Chain A
């Protein structure tokens, strides 16, 4: 019974991990860039929420109304001013530039906000829960986050496969030069893709900041969880990423049930096991 509870908590946590992963895999799909600063941008979004809440007196979830556009605009600027200049055949420049950015963001946040950990208050929502039978209790907040994650991923799927924007993203990812021949300004398309990714990051950041304590240093772990979810689920598939996130969340929850110190390690082991046995992931769409 206790494990059933762990399973359910793991699934709900997995929705959050899928959000971390969705932004990451979107960018990799469109422009073959892996943003090492992705996790730190999630944390940055949380701190932006802190500022927005202080400045405008908004509660945590409504602060998204400001945080999402702010992060999206930041994403567009980062892509046009910085990342676009690193894209090309060589692996090193985008990797090192995003790594450098990661260091800058972490230390910048440290300077601005100190290493104190904090948490966004969501009021009564934080402890509200539904009881299902004796041993299982579903928190409203985790449920809400899970539902939002699924909805966002569905929306992204829709965007990619049913809209002109999505067509443009897919064409650009197939062949940059020919996409230009279609009248697409590829630099602008990449900017839009990064804006979209950071919009998702904004939601993920606020969610995680409500759920747990955060400080400037927790970024890399979020990157790693997102990355593991992508690899477990399989490259090129957003629904696969959701599945990957859920599997990771469940692995961590079971590990935590055995021993709280084993939570993260259990996730890593699940990841390594998938890598060993089925490296293309569980639901790969693209065989690259």
Chain B
């Protein structure tokens, strides 16, 4: 009797990719032992951007929901952590998943409202929502109002015995979060929901006529992304120890940079945000002294990439060489027939 057709995901390049990724995970997990304080801070920042960009990529590149208002959830996560730690006595690290839950809960009514808008108008609507969050936050005086607030020393020291241990803990927390986000995204894309999402990415109308419940899936992705973004936001501000409405809901920091990273790295592919973050930090290390000139350059590069190479750096590489770093491809493998 012959075996059934099966779907294969891995390719040579993805095997290499997975091997490299595993190595990287081990090396980076041990970073506290080989890296200095500044290294850990930089790495944590890189992880945060990889996570934010990967989540934005899932939302915009796969589900087709272009949001320029994800800073709403970054700030929400940050404020949720501060509120839970300061007002409810929750341990800061435990507050992170709670912030994620809060993000998910709020994303439901927010999403329901925003989904009444389409396309470009949806995008601006997300921005308006972020502004609403920011304005509300600046009215909450117990959390610092318009000028913001710092996490009390008592709470900070309660996290661990020494400052070094505290920094290690936060580092591992961010690291664990970005690994979780990436693994979750890869697993999602390998599942049938991922297949549906890829179909939506490629051609929404065709997906709908194939029976995919596009509306429901998009909404689920919106809520899940909001939750993940809130958790990243919580950890970002735990590291900064200080929060204010302008930093929490900054369009530049949490949306402009994230979008540039994803566009330059490659939208609609999991590898894109990772490559993009690498390029972004390279540029930043070398050019950030230029201040607004640097931002203008980023804007110009993003425009150039959109016009000339809309699939981004990884898109060019993947199309040229057929590589993938994660086993996400779907190939039908013919069964070998054997006599019973």
Contacts and interface: CB of A to CB of B under 8 A. Distances in A.
Contacts of B123: 34, 36, 95
Given A96-B259, A268-B128, A272-B132, A110 B292 contact: yes
A276 interface: yes
A242 B293 CA distance: 38
Contacts of B251: 220
B106 interface: no
Nearest to B262: A96
Contact of A34 (B113, B120, B128, B263): B120
B313 to A, nearest CB: 15
A107 B135 contact: no
B121 A231 contact: yes
Chain A contact residues, majority secondary structure: helix
Interface string A233-247: 000000000000000
Nearest to B263: A96
Contacts of B127: 220, 224
B64 A103 contact: no
Contact of A103 (B116, B119, B132, B295): B295
A104 B120 contact: no
A148 interface: no
Contacts of B120: 28, 32-34, 91, 94-95
Contacts of A287: none
A103 B306 CA distance: 15
B74 to A, nearest CB: 17
A34 B125 CA distance: 12
A182 B124 CA distance: 34
A264 interface: yes
Interface string A111-154: 10000000000000000000000000000000000000000000
Contacts of A227: 121, 124, 128
Interface string A30-48: 0011101000000000000
6 closest cross-chain pairs (CB), A and B = A34-B120, A107-B292, A103-B299, A279-B116, A100-B299, A104-B299
Given A36-B68, A96-B263, A224-B124, 17 more contacts: A86-B306, A91-B64, A95-B68, A95-B120, A96-B259, A97-B302, A97-B303, A100-B303, A103-B296, A104-B303, A107-B292, A108-B296, A224-B128, A268-B131, A271-B128, A275-B125, A279-B117
22 contacts: A33-B120, A82-B303, A91-B64, A92-B267, A92-B306, A93-B307, A95-B66, A96-B263, A97-B303, A97-B307, A100-B300, A102-B299, A107-B292, A107-B293, A111-B293, A224-B124, A227-B121, A227-B124, A268-B131, A275-B116, A275-B125, A288-B118
